[in-house]
Chain A
Amino acid sequence: MSTENEFFVIKAKENGVNVIGLTRGTDTRFHHSEKLDKGEVMIAQFTEHTSAVKVRGKAVIQTRHGEIATDKD
Chain B
Amino acid sequence: MIIATDDLEITCPTCKGERVIKDNKCDSCSGKGVILTSQGQTLLHFMKRHLEK
Contact = CB atoms under 8 A, between A and B. Distances in A.
Interface stretch (A2-10, A32-40, A61-69): A32-40
A33 B30 contact: no
Contacts of B18: none
Interface in A22-40: 27-35
Contacts of A20: 10, 13, 35
A30 B30 CA distance: 8
B28 A29 contact: yes
Nearest to B13: A56
Contact of B12 (A16, A27, A30, A32): A30
Contact of A35 (B6, B27, B29, B30): B6
29 contacts: A16-B6, A18-B10, A18-B13, A20-B10, A20-B13, A20-B35, A27-B27, A28-B27, A28-B28, A29-B27, A29-B28, A29-B29, A29-B30, A30-B12, A30-B14, A30-B28, A30-B29, A30-B35, A32-B36, A32-B37, A32-B38, A32-B41, A33-B9, A33-B10, A33-B36, A34-B37, A35-B6, A35-B10, A35-B37
